[in-house]
Amino acid sequence: MAFRRLLLPLTGTAAGESALKTALMIARIWNSHIHCLHVRVDARDVAPLAGEGLSGAMIEEMMAATERESGERADRVRALFDRFAAASGVVIADSPATANRANGATLSFATVSGREEDIVAQMSRLYDMAVVPHPEAGEDVSSSDALHAVLFDSGRPVLIAPREAPDTIGSRVCAAWNGTAESAAAIAAGLPWMHHAEAVRVLYSDEYQRRGPGVEGILGYLRWHEIQAESVPFKPVTREVGAGLLGAARDFNADLLVMGAYSHSRLRQLILGGVTRHVLENSDIPVLMCR
């Protein structure tokens, strides 16, 4: 019951199918309901962006083209969902009563119009966790508006699905600790996973540590929650703290990484790089993040 409702924003990218598979794995562990949400671009939002010097006819043409493309994308996303639902055999539930009677993972789908980043962040507040598709290969992570909106504005944990669905999730959990409020929030959100896991490891590094309690403090916190975790230091790889963190998670054969997001400002991370950005762009396992 820890993660009863999951929100999965779908945009029709190739990573969407992997996110669907990852979300279903989670839902089967926790008997969760997955609500898939596609946000169509509202053609009326295009007009203010058109700028001066365009005639009314040109703006109307732009709006019509936007509406057409948005509709085609929505049809593709709905087709993806329908194929996935049919292949998985999961019950489609339109109410809590229907989901409860199913006594297992359930699915639903909706399409709304508006600004994706606003709607997804606001809707996420009504769910226990958001599962977000991985940024596309070659895509700058800074362009994932929905991902950052959920991280910064939802108040909920976010699980970033890998580009390819994992074989397992949550059996071997790594938690990244650096003493920050963000890492504390992530570990608190990840407690159900740690109780579920066969093994838990806390990763820490002098280069990653910020002002705040050291690793012994968080190990004591976990013991109060009856979680026995080992702590292991890691080193940056070619000066990249994020690469060192992912390498340490791979050494543990982790199938879930729990960590705080953007303990430095997002702007600084986008300009200079940072641990959060490196993990978002390069992780090949699910990552549970909190901001």
First to last CA, the chain: 23
What is the pLDDT of the chain when averaged over all its residues?
Answer: 87
In the prediction, which pLDDT does 239 show? 87
The number of beta carbons lying within 10 Å of the beta carbon of residue 98 is: 14
| 116-124 vs 145-153: helix crossing angle, rounded to 10 | 40
Mean pLDDT of 189-217: 95
| Cβ atoms 191, 258 nearer than 8 A | no
Q: Regarding predicted confidence, which is higher, 286 or 142?
A: 286
Q: What is the per-residue pLDDT for 234?
A: 96
Question: Is the pTM above the cut of 0.85?
Answer: yes
Give residue-wise pLDDT tens across range 70-117. 788 899 999 999 999 999 999 999 899 999 888 899 999 999 998 888
Count CB atoms within 10 A of the CB of residue 267. Answer: 10
Contact status, residue 236 vs residue 244, Cβ threshold 8 Å: yes
Cα distance between residue 90 and residue 106, in whole Å: 6
Average pLDDT over residues 31-50: 78
Tokens 């993040």 label which residue?
A: 289
Question: Would you say the C-alpha torsion 266, 39, 27, 89 has a positive or negative sign?
Answer: negative
Question: pLDDT tens for residues 119-168?
Answer: 999 999 999 999 999 876 555 454 467 788 888 889 999 999 999 999 99
- The two structure tokens encoding residue 49: 């962006």
What are the start-end ranges of the H helices in the chain? Answer: 15-30, 56-88, 96-102, 116-124, 145-153, 181-189, 191-196, 215-224, 241-251, 266-272, 275-282
In the prediction, which pLDDT does 112 show? 94
**How many residues are listed for the chain in this entry?**
291
Phi-psi region of 110 (alpha: psi -120 to 50; beta: other; left: phi over 0): beta
| C-alpha–C-alpha distance, residues 168 and 174, integer Å | 14
User: Which helix (H) or strand (E) is 108 found in, with range?
Assistant: strand 106-113
Classify strands 158-160 and 129-132 as parallel, antiparallel or unpaired: parallel
Looking at residue 233, what is its pLDDT? 97
Other Cβ atoms less than 10 A from the Cβ of 34: the count is: 24
pLDDT at 272: 37
